[in-house]
Each structure stands twice: as C-alpha cells, then as structure tokens.
Amino acid sequence: MELTTLILLSLTAFIAGFVDAIVGGGGLIQTPMALILMPTLPVATLIGSLKIPSFTGTLMAAILYFKHLKINWKLLFLMIFLAIPAAFFGSMLLSVVNNDFMKPVLFIVLVILLFYTISRKNFGQQVSFSISKNKKYFLASLVAVVIGFYDGFIGPGTGSFLVLSFIFLLGFDFLNASANAKMVNLATNIGSIVLFLSKGKIIWLIAVPMAICNALGGYLGAKLAINQGNKFIRVFFLIVVFGTLIRFGYDIFYK
C-alpha cells in the first residue's frame, strides 16, 4: 500500500472519529473514502478492517463521556449483552445476503426523522419524559437488538439511530443520548469484529494507524460535545442525518 493512501485513510479516520463522537455517523465519512481509495479490496475485508478504528474512536469518546456524565450501568450492560450477538448475526447475514433491499425503506425513515427533528426545536434539548422501569428496560432491549443487528448488516448511521432511539423512546437529551449510544455502539462493533476476526478479514496495516487517528478524533469530538452541550449536538445530528440521506439516496438512485 502506498504511503499517500495510508495518510489519507488516517486523516479520514480522524475526521470520522471526531464527528462520530459527537452524534454518530463516522461511517458515512470513513467507509466511502476507503472504498474510493481501495476499490480492489473485497468489501468484507474493507468493512472488517474499518471496524477496528470505529471501535477505538468510540471507546475513547465513551471514556470521556463517562467521566463527566451519570450513567445507568445496569441498563447499559443489558443493552450491551443483547447488542453483541445481534451485530454478530447481522454481519453473518451480510456475508451471504445483499442488503440493498433495505435502503429504500431506511431512506424514507430518515426523511421523516429529519423533518421531525427540524420541526421540533426542543427535541433532545432536555430530558423530556420518564417511563416506568419495566418499560424502559423493554424498550432499551428492543433498541439494542434491532440496531445491533442493523449495524452488523448495514452499518452507516448506526450511532445516529442509537442517539435518536435514546431521545425518542427513552426521553434522554442529546448529550446523555450520545454518551449512552457510544457504549452500545462499542458492543455492536465487538460483535462484528469477532466475526471478521474469525474469517481473517482484517488488514492490520490499515486498521492500526486508522485506529490511532480515529481515537484521537473521538477524544476531541467528545470533549467539544461536552463543552458545547445539546444545541451544538443537535446541529451535528441534523448534518449527519442529512449526510446519511445522501448516502442512501446515491445507493438507491444512482448505483
């Protein structure tokens, strides 16, 4: 591999880690660039290699968030326990089935979510409601399984879907939703990494330098989000959802 390609991949990983730490969606930056720079690499190997920097960046952001925010560890551990196997089976399905049939559905869902978030100025600006313990654990379990599977099977926008789920279903504000989403996203990454490792689909020459840069970006992004708060995160959320729409729109209408 040429040094220029590795430098460009590492720079992309830094930007992806920075954006992902704030509100998710780093895969929208990292994956397309890797596909452009390494068009001859098998897709499964490419995705497997990118899971390593995604994991390190998310881990660094999660550590910083957890130092500053109160976390419901019991709820998170339940979600992690469910998300890991869900992501594993999603990645397993990806290895035998094409996921393009899901993209038109997700495109419509994202359009609705984008307009809803824009129209509701106070959406995610504060803890909006509380629910019973049983309902909270049920909804959290559902989120972990569905989005965990989604991350393994499709991938892009997982962090944003997690943030949205924490806000819309569990009543979190943007900052706490971002923090909790990081831990669940770590679990989904682990589930996929286990599968890709078992199949020998990770190129460490690519994964390691990208992982270092993604972690640095994740640290700086999380620090900025903590300092700036919910309004700043909401803007980033809208940008990432719009970017996800463009990505799926391209896949649906131009490929």
CA–CA gap between residue 10 and residue 13 (Å, rounded): 5
Which token pair is 172? 């979190």
| pLDDT score at 173 | 85
Weakly modelled stretches of the chain, pLDDT under 70: 1, 98-103, 120-129, 156, 255
| pLDDT score at 124 | 54
Type of residue at 217: G
Q: What angle do CA 162, 166, 172 make, to 5 degrees?
A: 145
Contact present, 154 and 96 (Cβ < 8 Å): no
Alpha carbon of residue 69 to chain centroid? 20
| pLDDT score at 11 | 95
Q: 3-class DSSP state for residue 3?
A: helix
CA–CA gap between residue 254 and residue 198 (Å, rounded): 34
| pLDDT score at 129 | 58
| pLDDT score at 99 | 62
Of 163, 154, 146, residue with least CA distance to 248: 154
| pLDDT score at 217 | 95
Contact present, 70 and 33 (Cβ < 8 Å): no
| pLDDT score at 137 | 94
